[in-house]
Amino acid sequence: MELSKEKLTAVLAFITELETLAPPDRDWVLERRQAPKPDWKTLDLPAIDRLYRTFWLAQTGTARRAYTQRFGDSYLQEVARDLSMILDYCRHVLADQRQHGTWPRPDACRLLTSHLVQANRFDLARRVELGFHRQAVRSDRRDERALP
């Protein structure tokens, strides 16, 4: 399978975004992922509701819900058929992390890298993998090792 010039340009633009964007603030992302501990005495119900909604968005994000509503439960099969949809899905997953602190789903990176490997573009697949790894903020505190 060959990549057309337009698709190759779109992939290169996405890789450039991955490589040039600064990773999100790790402390902010990890703070969003922690369960809220509201001060029940000083906060009113709307403020407590906002705290839990923020936490819920950090846990679920918006990408999966949006694509499930659009394509149904088998949305990954639909997305995997078209490179432009894969790129949009990857952008949406990474935007969720920047906006809500959501852990980026690794299936987005896998969809794109498998598509590139099928097109015999191993170099681009590796750059996507490294860029995605650079952008993703891990929830555990162990040392983040760079990919070999």
Cα separation of 139 and 148, whole Å?
A: 21
Count of beta carbons in the 10 Å neighbourhood of residue 90: 26
Query: What is the average pLDDT across 102-107?
Result: 82
Question: What is the pLDDT, as a whole number, of residue 144?
Answer: 53
Asked whether the beta carbons of 62 and 56 are under 8 A apart, the reply is: no
DSSP string, 40-67: TTT--HHHHHHHHHHHHHHHH-SHHHHH
Question: What is the pLDDT, as a whole number, of residue 58?
Answer: 86
Averaged pLDDT score across all residues of the chain: 87
Cα separation of 13 and 29, whole Å?
A: 25
In this prediction the pTM is 0.83
Q: Map tokens 């920047």 to a residue.
A: 98
Q: What are 88-98's pLDDT values in tens digits?
A: 999 999 999 99
Asked whether the beta carbons of 130 and 147 are under 8 A apart, the reply is: yes
